Amino acid sequence: MSLELIVTEKAPAAIGPYSQGVKGSNIIFTSGQLPIDPENGELVMEIKKATKQSLENVKAVLEKAGATLDDVAKVTIFISNMDDFGAVNEVYGEFFNSHKPARSCVEVARLPKDAVVEIEAIAIK
């Protein structure tokens, strides 16, 4: 099986030696998406806006791979403060309302660029 590296200008470029996503057969893995606006490179820090930006970035990587949010089987959310869990869920529910993939949400000590959230997904297409 060969792997296809997913690269799109509609999501921020990788900030290290990795790809925005990888597709193998019918499975798509997105790398963790920070809340960076791909148009201006700015890091969004307000938790609701940051969650929305991270999810938009995940969506862009999936779309480049020929998938949509409805194809997502698993999401992992990393947040820097578990007190933000409710705000993250509020925004997350706008993206995943009728389709509810499996999900984990964990608080971490620190994220790259001191972001407040990072989101990754696995989709099956």
Which residues are catalytically annotated? 105
Residues 6+ apart with CB under 8 A from 100: none
The pairs formed by 83-86 with CB atoms below 8 angstroms and a separation of 24 or more are 84/47, 84/116, 84/117
8 Å CB contact between 12 and 41: yes
Tokens of 78: 């990393």
Q: How far is CA 100 from the centre of its chain?
A: 15
Tokens of 60: 């862009």
